Structures are given as C-alpha cells and as structure tokens.
Structure 1
Amino acid sequence: MDTDPTVDSPVDAVDAVDVTKRYGDLVAVDHLSMRVAQGEIYGILGPNGAGKTTFLRMLFGLIRPDSGSIRLFGRTWAEAGVDVLDGVAGFVESPRFYPYLTGLQNLEALALLDGDDQRARIAEVLDIVDLTGRERDRVAGYSYGMRQRLGVAASLLREPRLLVLDEPANGLDPGGIRDMRALVKRLAGSGLTVLLSSHHMDEVEEICDNVTIMKRGAVAFHGTLTDLRAMAPDPGHRLGTTDDAHARRIAREAYPGVVVEPDPDGGLVATGSPARLSAYVADLVRAGIGLREFTPTETPLEALFFMLTDAGTTAERDVA
C-alpha cells in the first residue's frame, strides 16, 4: 500500500479500525470502525453525546484512542507524527477567531502561522465561501453562519484533500443551513473529500454518499443513503378531522395498511404508505368528513434516525 499522501493512490481518506476511547466508566467511542473513500461526502450522525466529536478529536490527534487505529490517507500518528495531517483541515466544534480583527486579518494571521505563506489564496477562499465584500468587517460583527463559513475558508487555505467539519450547520437558521449545504456540495464537486458530523438527518440526507449513525459511542448503522432509505418506515402525518371517531373507523374497516391513532397533542396521527394514505384521505372526503390538517410528522429518514438512536435499537450494517 502506498502511504505517501502526495501520490495519487486508492487508499482511503480515513480508515478507522476498532477505535475505542474511555473516560473512566464512560465509553465515549466504542469499537468504532469506519472507512471514508477519497472524493466522497461522508456523514457521522448521532444525537448529542453519541461520540461524534470525540472521534473527530482523535482523528486530529487532539486526544489519543485507548485502542484501535486511525489512518489518514494510509498513515497513522505513530508512523508519521503530525505529518499525518498533511492534506487534512477542518474544525472541531465551532471555529474561533479574534473578534476585534477583520475576517481578512484573521485569515492573514492563520496563513502565516501555518508555516507556508498562503496569503495569495485568501481572495480565492473568501470567494468560495461567499464572504467577498465582508472580509474587511470585524469578525465581532459577523453572524454565526458567517463565522462558520470563515472557518471553512481558513481550512481551505491549507489546500486540503480531506475537509473535516464538526456540526457545521449547528445553530444556523434555515437559510444558513441551506447555504452551508450548498457550500459543501460545491466543495465536494471540486473533488474534495468531506467528512462532517451532525445530529440532524435532514442536514445531510441530500448531500452525503455514506453515513455512520452512532448511539452512545457505538455504531447503530453503516451504509449508503440508499440503504438507509430502504429501511425507513412509512411516513406519518398529523390528521385533523371534523369526526375523528368516524375517521378511525374507516381506517380499521377499509385500510388495513393504514394505522390511525390519537395524537397526544390532539387530533390523529396516520401512518402508512403514501399511496394508501392518499386513498384513505380521499375516502374521508367522500364520506363527508372535513379535513382540518394533514401534515407530515417527520420524514421517513428522520423517523428511522430516531428509531436507531433510541435505547435498545440497533441495526448495524457494514460499509461496502
């Protein structure tokens, strides 16, 4: 195996094998294995406390695993020391900057501190993250989303082949999430490998090639988004009617594939395939029952995510 990251080779960008990290009695990461191929967008998903950030800290060498190994482009920390991070950039948790300096001044300082003068790339990376025109504003006046994008710009100064982003959309409003998703897509389109973490399925389902879902430090799912969608349950909808008792009776008598139960918050929740739900709702209208609400409770992937990360639920699958 060629382990020189400067040589074009088939080695994985990330190859983690049986990685474990404990803090006393707490197992933060429990025998985690993961492979991220070059050129893909890979998502690590899980609720807060699942072990995502702990794994990323180990990847960057900020902490060391108690057992197992992590290879970046074929090299380990034991073999290459800090050189293992050649071609790797990103941030763990939220990026930090000097708030009294401008975005441009922060990037200039980072370009010098990195050892190589990358100032010639500053205009390019500012354009990539859509901060051109705001670079001379103080970071103290930046929105949270702008600081996240400045963090991506700082990472891109190193011309990485692997970009690691820890919850890049956390704390953003819907517009900021949309912009961050579009940015990640553009970066991946340029051939960059992106490894990102999130605790929201909807932030990654449109952009990731493969995902690992974590639950209390362990793997709950490995696989592609296609695999995940195939496992997803039928969608649920909140259903408000003028006669809930009659609506439930129609479901019981004529639609065995549709489950209609009372919603604790009021009204009903109807679960079933889209085709069966459409036919059922049409029958309600024909029966003279008025519809006041018919809205999704959550996407099928969100429902599956909650199932996989709830206590007692596991559906492990190896990455192909």
Structure 2
Amino acid sequence: MCARRPALPWGVPAFIVTSCRLPSVAGVTDQLAVRIEGLTKRYGSLTAVDGIDIAVAEGEVYGVLGPNGAGKTTVLRMLFGLIRPDAGVLEVFGRSWEQNGTDTLAGVAGFIESPKFYPYLTGRKNLQLLAGLDGGAARERIDEVLDVVDLTGRDRDKVGGYSFGMRQRLGVAASLLRDPRLLVLDEPANGLDPAGIRDMRALVHRLADSGLTVLLSSHDMAEVEEICDNVTIMKTGSVVYHGTISALRAQAPPQAHLLRTTDDAAAARLAAGAEGLSVATAEGQLAVRGTQDAIDAYVRTLALAGIAPRSLTLGEAPLEALFFMLTEASPDSPPHGTRTDQEALS
C-alpha cells in the first residue's frame, strides 16, 4: 500500500506527483503502461474529453498532441486522479482508481503544467524536502537525478535564480526521485527558449534510452516528431489520429515552397498542367508543392517567361502542415472520426 502523505506546508509544490512503490507483480511487463478506452469528461454542456482511446506500451515515448483546449491536460489530470472521468476505462500498469485507489500511481511520477518550488531555497534543498515527504530511498537518489537532468553544479544555487528551463528540469528531477517506471510530463518544453527546448528533448531521449516509459503532452508537432514513437492527436476533446510517427510522416503532404514573383497571376497560369507540380495562392503568395526537379524546372520556366522570382522560402514542415489539417478544420466541416495510421487522410 502507498503510505498516506503528510499534510504539506504552505507552498510545497504538491502538484509534483511522486510515485509510491508496490512489490513487483509477476507478468507486469506484459501489461500496457497506460490503457485508456472510451475516456470521457464533461463540464456541464462542454465535453472536454470525448470517448478517447490511448494505449501506451512499456518502454516507449508516447505523445498526446493537440492545440490549446484539445483536452490533453484533462486526460493527464484524470490519470493522476486529480479529476474523475464521467465514463470509460483508465488503467496504469493494469490498476485503476476504482479498484486500487492511490495504489494506481505505483511506479508513476510527473507533473501537470509547470513545476513550482521554493524560490528562496536551493535546488538541492527543494529536492531534500520532497524526498523527506516521499520517504523510502528518495533522498539517496538526489545526486543521481541532479546528474540526469544536468543540474549538478547548480544544485546549491537558489531556485529563484534558475531559468525557466532549469526549473523544468528540476521538476523532472523531483519526479525521478522514486525511480518511476512511467514518467508523465505536461507540455515539458512549453515556454522554453530554443536552447531550453533542445536540452529538454535531449533529456527525454536519455530517459527513454534508460528504459523509462514517457507519456507527454504537447502542442508542438516538431517536439513530438523529434522524441515520440507513437502519437495521439486530439482536437476539441476527440481523437483525430492514432499511430506511429513514421506512418504519420508518410502521409504528410509535400513541403510547400512559398513564392513571390513580379506577376503571381501569370506565374500560377504557367504552372497549369506541369507534371509533378501544384501551385495555389496562399496569403498573397504562391504555395508551390512538388518534387525538387519539378520546382527547379518551374523556376526556369518563370525566368524564360520574363517573370522574376522575388522570394522563394520554405513553408510549414510537412508534419506541421498535416497537424494543422487535422486540427484546424473549419467549423462547418464534418467532424473527424478517430483515424489510425492506416486510415488518416486516406
């Protein structure tokens, strides 16, 4: 059984959910780390999560992706038992809140939204306080987790002087104190500068390489593409895609080249009938898609016709374009059904 945690003094970051430890169970490696079926959460007339399914295998990095308001954080709050679902199944390593109560979170750690710490205490002292509340061997792991998140050497600095990225990494360190099997991160790179995003991605890669299962939410397709094996894409509480990143990448449209010329209308007419090429007007410029050979030939045709290119830049990355296609359909279009990696955009 998980020991009941003592009441927290004012200001202790209780939202950092640390794991409790259960004896090993034979065959547990054959179970999914997370099994969600038909999970639903309503707030009055608003359906925040609408009958979604998610299956996270042990040892993988799984992304729940969607724009703000898609329902990602609501799903994670239900996993942590912070809110109750109205319907559906939610199991963690084969355990559920209905059957196992707080034991459901055995072997689970993570944080919802951004971690907070006592700013006037050092990073190490904050971890010592959390380790004291958590009990067990957590205190013995402080040096190890500081090294994992690259905060060794800054652990005796006050958290108030940490950058946002350092505080995010300290939150991961706090989550790792009890050596969890599943780490849950809510938008871990949100608000970070490019260097912080790079460091967070590298950290998740290292954790995954160690065999830890990672479930993270994000609104950034590039982040998920970089570090996740499988992904669920959500829109307004519903699932619009399930599947592997590689299958999603295979279905993405060709990357657009954004073209401005001295005569865009004439340039568009010249593209008509060109093999392997499509040209459409987009926000006052031309979006040109096709093979590199076809685009090269098109630019040469423009020059021969006396139409000068004024700019030619890359548009959205293919997966980013697909993400917007899946999540930004017009309100009048029919809703997406749940797609698998075989069905999406087919």
TM-score by length of 2: 0.86
Q: Which residue is 2:289 aligned to?
A: 271
Please list every run of 5 or more consecutive structure 1 residues that lacks an aligned counterpart in the other structure.
none
1-structure distance, mates of 2:24, 2:238: 29
**Cα distance in structure 2, aligned partners of 1:71 and 1:232:** 32
Q: How does 1:1-320 map to 2 (within 5 A)?
A: 6-7=25-26, 8-253=28-273, 255-264=274-283, 266-285=284-303, 287=305, 289-311=307-329, 312=333, 314=336, 316-318=338-340
The count of corresponding residues between Structure 1 and Structure 2 is 316
Amino acid at match of 1:122: I
Q: Which moved more, 1:97-106 or 1:275-284?
A: 275-284
Q: CA RMSD in A?
A: 2.0
Cα–Cα, structure 1 residues 278 and 178, in superposed 2: closer, same or farther, change >3 Å? farther
Amino acid at match of 2:239: V
Deviations 1:68-112 (A, max 9, x none): 111101111122111111110001111111111111111000111
Q: Does structure 1 retain, via aligned residues, the 8 Å contact 2:137–2:178?
A: no
Q: Which amino acid aligns with 1:78?
A: E
- Distance in 2 between the 1:195 and 1:33 partners? 14
Instruction: Please give the alpha-carbon distance, in whole angstroms, between the structure 2 residues aligned to 1:271 and 1:68.
Output: 43
Confirm or deny: 8 A CA contact 2:238 2:338 kept in the other structure: no
For residues 197 and 233 of structure 1, what CA distance do their matches in structure 2 show? 24
Output the CA distance in 2 between the equivalents of 1:31 and 1:4: 33
User: What per-residue deviation string (whole Å, max 9, x for no partner) do you get for residues 173-215 of structure 1?
Assistant: 1111111111111100000000000011011102111100001
CA distance in 1, matches of 2:152, 2:68: 33
Cα pair 2:271 2:278 within 8 Å, conserved: yes
CA distance in 2, matches of 1:296, 1:139: 40
Distance in 2 between residues matched to 1:165 and 1:150, nearest whole Å: 13
State, as a whole percentage, how many aligned pairs show the same letter.
63
What are structure 2's unaligned runs of at least 5 residues?
1-21
Q: How far apart are the structure 2 equivalents of 1:222 and 1:102?
A: 42
Aligned to 2:7: none
Cα 1:228–1:274, aligned 2, differ >3 Å: closer, same or farther? farther
Greater CA drift, 167-176 or 5-14: 5-14
Task: Give, in whole Å, the separation in 2 of the partners of 1:156 and 1:130.
Answer: 13
Report if aligned partners of 1:41, 1:207 keep a CA contact under 8 Å in 2: yes
Gap change, CA 1:22 and 1:201, over 3 Å in 2: same
Equivalents in 1 of 2:23, 2:94: separation in Å? 7
**Residues 282 and 87 (structure 1), Cα distance of their counterparts in 2 relative to 1, 3 Å cut:** farther
Alignment partners' CA distance in 2, 1:224 and 1:160 = 25
Q: For the residues of structure 2 that align with 1:196 and 1:41, how far apart are their CA atoms? A: 8
